[in-house]
């Protein structure tokens, strides 16, 4: 899977590259508008992560160019501007998702993952992690080919964990993923523990292995 990261801040560009590479993607980089236009014209990508504010141009124009090229790549816009107009405009132009800075790398990775699944396989794919099989189309989860019943939030958690497998995922990233902008209304992160406890219990009951590990109270690691 090839991902193009268009971001002018080198430190952020490298962070994204490091995280996504570790998750198994092949990452290419573009640091300004000209490079970005050049690369999308020259190569095919599965996913493009584009910043809006770029030297020599605008990230939204890269999205336009991709549409002109009839590219099938998934597009995620990342912007420092939490502006509704920008978001709507980006999605209108054909972007698949919009993420406001600052974001959790695990969240960006999960979104890249979801877009690729949707785009590449029209959602008709199964996600497999050892004995766990997930069918996103029907939202069913099988452990050792035995169906288990998860709540909506537990299902979301499992998907997030598998997308970010082998990485430490912080509680705040999980809370942000499950509750979006309203996660600071929650009061504390304690409720995440309850969800994880339930998810773990259900998987263990289906004779699955215990993949969710608590990491020194900083967060969780799957697998």
Q: Under the rule (CB under 8 A), what is the footprint of another protein?
A: 9, 11-12, 15-16, 18-19, 22, 80-82, 84, 100-106, 153, 167-168, 170, 172-173, 179, 181-182, 184-188, 190-191, 194-195, 215-219
Give the sign of the dihedral formed by CA 25, CA 29, CA 35, CA 37.
positive
At its nearest, how many Å lie between another protein and the CB of residue 28? 18
At its nearest, how many Å lie between another protein and the CB of residue 57? 17
DSSP E strands in the chain: the ranges are: 2-6, 26-30, 47-51, 53-54, 57-58, 74-79, 97-100, 127-129, 132-135, 140-143, 146-148, 168-170, 212-215, 219-222
Of the two residues 149 and 185, which places its CB atom closer to another protein in the complex? 185
Measure the CA–CA gap between 163 and 112, rounded to whole angstroms: 9
Roughly what angle, to the nearest 10 degrees, separates helices 105-121 and 152-163? 100
Of the two residues 42 and 85, which places its CB atom closer to another protein in the complex? 85
Of the two residues 102 and 145, which places its CB atom closer to another protein in the complex? 102
Give the pair of three-digit tokens for residue 178: 């499950």
Give the pair of three-digit tokens for residue 76: 């995620």
At its nearest, how many Å lie between another protein and the CB of residue 110? 13
Measure the CA–CA gap between 56 and 124, rounded to whole angstroms: 39
At its nearest, how many Å lie between another protein and the CB of residue 100? 7
Q: Answer yes or no: are the C-beta atoms of 55 and 33 closer than 8 Å.
A: yes
At its nearest, how many Å lie between another protein and the CB of residue 9? 6
At its nearest, how many Å lie between another protein and the CB of residue 191? 5
Of the two residues 84 and 138, which places its CB atom closer to another protein in the complex? 84
Of the two residues 22 and 38, which places its CB atom closer to another protein in the complex? 22
Of the two residues 106 and 113, which places its CB atom closer to another protein in the complex? 106
Give the pair of three-digit tokens for residue 135: 């069918």
Q: Answer yes or no: are the C-beta atoms of 2 and 26 closer than 8 Å.
A: yes
């Amino acid at each position: 899977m090839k991902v193009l990261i268009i971001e002018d801040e080198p430190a952020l560009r490298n962070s994204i590259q490091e995280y996504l590479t570790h998750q198994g993607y092949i990452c290419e980089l573009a640091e300004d508008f000209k490079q970005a236009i050049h690369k999308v014209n020259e190569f095919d990508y599965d996913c493009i992560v584009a910043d809006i504010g770029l030297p020599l141009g605008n990230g939204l124009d890269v999205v336009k160019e991709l549409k002109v090229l009839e590219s099938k790549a998934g597009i995620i816009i990342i912007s420092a501007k939490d502006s509704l107009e920008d978001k709507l405009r980006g999605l209108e132009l054909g972007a698949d998702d919009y993420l406001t800075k600052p974001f959790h790398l695990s969240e960006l990775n999960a979104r890249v993952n979801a877009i690729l699944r949707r785009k590449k396989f029209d959602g008709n794919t199964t996600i497999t992690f050892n004995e766990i099989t997930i069918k996103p189309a029907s939202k069913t989860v099988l452990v050792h080919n035995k169906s288990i019943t998860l709540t909506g939030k537990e299902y979301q958690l499992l998907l997030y964990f598998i997308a970010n497998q082998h990485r430490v995922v912080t509680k705040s990233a999980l809370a942000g993923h499950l509750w979006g902008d309203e996660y600071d209304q929650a009061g504390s992160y304690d409720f995440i523990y309850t969800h994880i406890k339930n998810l773990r219990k259900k998987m263990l009951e289906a004779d699955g292995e215990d993949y969710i590990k608590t990491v020194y109270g900083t967060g969780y690691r799957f697998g």
